[in-house]
Amino acid sequence: MPDVFADLVGQDEAVVELRRAAAAAAAVLRAGAAALVPAGPASGNGSAADDAATGGLDPAAGMTHAWIFTGPPGSGRSVAARAFAAALQCVHGTGCGECPGCHTTMGGSHADVRMVVPEGLSIGVGEMRALVLRAASTPSGGRWQVVVIEDADRLTEAAGNALLKAIEEPPPRTVFLLCAPSTHPDDISVTIRSRCRVVPLRQPPAAAVAEVLVRRDGIAPDVAQWAAAAAQGHVGRARRLARDPEARKRREAVLAVPRRLTGVGAAFDAASALIEAAEAEADASVTEADTTERAALETALGAGGTGRGAAGAMRGAAGQLKELEKRQKSRATRAQRDALDRALVDLAGFYRDSLTMALRAPVAPVHTDTAALAGAGAQKWDAEGALRRLEAVLACRAAIEANVKPRIAVEAMMLALWKG
Ligand SMILES: [Zn+2]
C-alpha cells in the first residue's frame, strides 16, 4: 500500500524533511500525553522561554507551526501540503496511507484539516479571521489543527495580516501550511515568510513525470515520454503538451528561433515574436478567470442594487472591484513572466542538446523532434559555440529574474545567439 507521499514525484529531499517533521510532531504529542500537562510547554528540552516562543514545539527537532511550500506550478505544492497534513493526522505519525487519519485527510473530510482553495476570488480578511479563530480550537481528533492555504500568494493584504498574527502567536496545536510559487515578496509577504519554514519543491525528473501522465491521466506511454522530456520534468506543462495542440504549436514556434536568426533584423524580429507570443499565451490563460471572478464579485456585491444603504454598499463595492483589478493585473504580469520563462527553458533545451551532441555525451536529447537541427548546430558551432549560446539564454532568464525589462533582455539574447 503506497503511503501519503507516493504521489509527490521526484521530491526526495522534501519528503525526507516532511517525514522527519511528522515524526517530531508525533513525538511532541506523545511527550504531551505522558507529561499530562494541561496547558503550556510539555517538553523537557530547552528553556521555558524557548518553549514559549515556539508554542512548545522545538524547531530544531524538525517540527514547526508554519510552513511554506514553494515551487513552480505543477511541481506539487498542494500535493505536498496535503500529504504532510495527512502525516500529521496519521495515528502512526508516519503518513501510512491506511489509517483513518490518513484516509480522511487525503479524502478531504478530516475534521481538523481545512483546505483553503480560493476559487475565483482571493481569500479576504473576513474569511481569514474566521479561519484563524477555528484553527485555534482544540483539535477534535486529539492531534493537530491543520490549515492548508493553497495559492497563499492570493491573500489580500488584510487577510495576510490576520494570518500573520496567528503565525506570530500560534496556538499550541495549530499548524499552517501555505503554498506559493516562490518566497518573492510579490508572492508572500516578507514578515510571513520570516515566520515560516520553507520547503522548496523542484521540477521532478522526466521519467517520474511520464509515469504519472500514464498512470493518472491515461496518456499513451510514448506520448507521455515525449511530453515529459520536452517539458523538462514540469508536470502540468507535460500534461498540456500531451493534450493541447495549441501548446505544441507555441513550443514549435520557439524551437524555430535558432534557424531564423539570419541577421540583426531577424534577431529583433525573433525577439518581438517571442515577447508577443508570451503575452498572447498569458492573456489566454488569465482572461477567462478574470471575467469569471469579476462576474462572481459583482453578483456577490449585488451590483445595480437600489434602496437604503445601496449608495454606501456601492462605495465599498468600488473598492473591492479596484482591489480585484489590482490582483488580476499582477496575476497577468506573472503569467507573462511564466510564459516567457517557459519559452526560454525550451530554447535552453535546444542549445543544451547541441552542446551534449558536440561533446558526444551519452544523454538523451531534451527535444527529440529538433534533435537533427541541434545536431547540425553542434557541427557548425562546436561545443564552445553551443555553450556560449546556452549561456546567452540562461543569462536572459537571470536578467528578467533581476527585473531587467523582458524585451531588452530578449533582444540582447537574440543578438548573442545570432553572433554566437
Ligand atoms: Zn496513517
73 CA distance to ligand 1 centroid (A)?
27
Q: Cell numbers 456577490 label which residue?
A: 300
334 CA distance to ligand 1 centroid (A)?
38
- pLDDT averaged over every residue in the chain: 84
* Cell numbers that stand for 147 in this block: 490549515
Beta-strand ranges (E) seen in 14-144 are 66-70, 113-116
82 CA distance to ligand 1 centroid (A)?
13
3 CA distance to ligand 1 centroid (A)?
8
In this predicted structure, the answer to whether residue 308 has a pLDDT above a threshold of 90 is no
* Cell numbers that stand for 324 in this block: 480585484
d(CA 151, CA 106): 18
216 CA distance to ligand 1 centroid (A)?
22
Residue partners of 58: CB distance under 8 A and separation at least 6: 24, 28, 43, 45, 46, 50, 51
In this predicted structure, the answer to whether residue 34 has a pLDDT above a threshold of 70 is no
The predicted structure's pLDDT at residue 268? 96
Q: The sheet that has 174-180: what strands, in order across it?
A: 113-116, 145-149, 174-180, 66-70, 197-200
Mean pLDDT within 279-286: 81
Residue of higher predicted confidence among 53 and 109: 109
Residue of higher predicted confidence among 289 and 148: 148
d(CA 21, CA 64): 8
Tens of pLDDT, residues 331-350: 788 788 888 988 999 999 99
Tens of pLDDT, residues 234-272: 777 888 899 988 888 889 999 999 999 999 999 999 999
Percent of the chain with pLDDT over 70: 88
The predicted structure's pLDDT at residue 91? 93
Tens of pLDDT, residues 342-372: 899 999 999 999 999 999 999 888 898 899 9
The predicted structure's pLDDT at residue 307? 54
CA dihedral defined by 259, 264, 268, 271, rounded to 10 degrees?
A: 40
In our burial notation (b when 16+ CB lie closer than 10 A, e otherwise), range 309-334 reads: eeeeebeebeebbebbeebbeebbeb
CA dihedral sign of residues 290, 292, 295, 296: negative
In this predicted structure, the answer to whether residue 312 has a pLDDT above a threshold of 70 is no
89 CA distance to ligand 1 centroid (A)?
7
d(CA 173, CA 11): 27
The predicted structure's pLDDT at residue 48? 42
The predicted structure's pLDDT at residue 221? 95
Residue partners of 260: CB distance under 8 A and separation at least 6: 266, 269, 270
45 CA distance to ligand 1 centroid (A)?
27
Where would I find the H helices in 180-220?
190-194, 206-217
What confidence category does residue 171 fall into, taking pLDDT thresholds of 50, 70 and 90? confident
DSSP characters over 302-363: TTT--STTHHHHHHHHHHHHHHHHHHHHHHHHHHHHHHHHHHHHHHHHHHHHHHHHHTT-S-
Judge if pTM exceeds 0.75.
Answer: no
99 CA distance to ligand 1 centroid (A)?
4
The predicted structure's pLDDT at residue 387? 97
281 CA distance to ligand 1 centroid (A)?
42
What confidence category does residue 15 fall into, taking pLDDT thresholds of 50, 70 and 90? very high
